[in-house]
Amino acid sequence: MKMKSNPTPAYLSVLKAWGTATRWEGYVCYEGQVDGRACKLVLPDVPDAYARWAWRAEFFGQFAGVDLELVARGFVLAYMDVVDLYGCPKAVAHWDVFYAWASGALGLHPRPALIGLSRGGLMVYNWAIRNPLKTGCIYGDAPVMDFKSWPGGQDSAPASPSDWEKCLAAYGLSEAEALAYPGNPLDNLAPLAAQRVALIHVCGMADEAVPVSENTAIAAERYRDLGGDMTVILKGSVGHHPHGLDNPTPVVEFIQRYTK
């Protein structure tokens, strides 16, 4: 079905004044700063009539099958660099500023789809939990749901000592405080369930870096117990990589369904 075009999207003139136009995978991409952080916005050739957008946390451009298909279907793709902050309150505050700008000055849809790959899960969930009414849906791909699992390595997952040190610094916690910290996504899913935010995760069953048993499996059980809607797609003997599906259509159609 051919998508109805919006010939003069509200965001275009704002972006021209804000950033530098580059190209990403054949699409116009504006790059600039919001709240002192580097940002990117990829524009579709035929804008969505609802001005919908997908907001990627971490690893921009990697395993981007879903991202590209969403842009092809009219979504704006957004990214704000909060690398090495692991979804801490400071990172959430940066995203708050970006959201206010994107939904205000740019006129984008008030409930974006959030995309969190691996450690990006901490970012998208921590922001969404504090902003459930501003979240359309969440796509987590092998997402970290508890920093004690990764980078902490407190159970079966191997620790990442350098990341654990940076994570503790970002949150301002000692290791003992981090082990007792009640602010991980796994501990705080109730606000999302209360607002019926739909979740979809894609995970490799052989993932050793971010084990399903320590992250997505616990999240799914708790979310469903809270009355939430969560879809989990498991990939046989696949490990942490490669992310995504060979055919991204199931995830893309899920996002389209829950962002109207």
| pLDDT tens column, 205-214 | 888 899 999 9
pLDDT of residue 3: 46
This prediction's pTM = 0.94
Q: Which has the minimum average pLDDT: 17-21, 31-35, 98-102, 155-159?
A: 155-159
Each residue of 91-127: b (16+ CB within 10 Å) or e?
A: bbebbeebbebbbeebebbebbbbbbbbbbbbbbbbb
- pLDDT, mean of residues 45-52: 94
* End-to-end CA gap in the chain: 16
Q: Quick check: 158 pLDDT over 80?
A: yes
Residue 7 pLDDT grade (very low, low, confident, very high; cuts 50, 70, 90): low
Model confidence pLDDT, tens digit, residues 55-104 = 999 999 899 999 999 999 999 999 999 999 999 999 999 999 999 999 99
pLDDT of residue 108: 97
Report the amino acid identity of residue 175.
E
Beta sheet of 53-57, edge-to-edge order: 20-24, 27-34, 37-42, 76-80, 53-57, 113-117, 137-141, 198-204, 230-235
Name all contacts of 8-15 with Cβ < 8 Å and 24+ positions apart.
9/43, 9/47, 9/51, 9/107, 10/51, 10/106, 10/107, 11/41, 11/43, 11/51, 11/76, 11/105, 11/106, 11/107, 11/108, 12/43, 14/105, 14/106, 15/41, 15/43, 15/106
Q: Residue 9 CA to chain centroid, in angstroms?
A: 24
Report the amino acid identity of residue 50.
Y
Each residue of 170-207: b (16+ CB within 10 Å) or e?
A: bbebeeeebeeeeebbbebbebbbeeebbbbbbbbeeb
Q: Which residues partner with 137 through β-bridges?
A: 113, 198
Q: Quick check: 1 pLDDT over 60?
A: no
Residue 29 pLDDT grade (very low, low, confident, very high; cuts 50, 70, 90): very high
Q: Quick check: 239 pLDDT over 80?
A: no
Q: Quick check: 155 pLDDT over 90?
A: no
Model confidence pLDDT, tens digit, residues 159-217 = 899 999 999 999 999 999 999 999 999 999 999 999 999 999 999 988 889 999 999 99
| CATH for the stretch 11-257 | 3.40.50.1820
Angstrom CA distances, 160 to 51, 150, 153, 166, 169, stand at 39, 7, 7, 10, 14
Q: Quick check: 5 pLDDT over 60?
A: no
pLDDT of residue 260: 81
Q: Quick check: 147 pLDDT over 90?
A: yes
Q: By C-alpha distance, which of 58, 197, 207 is closest to 133?
A: 197
- pLDDT, mean of residues 130-157: 95
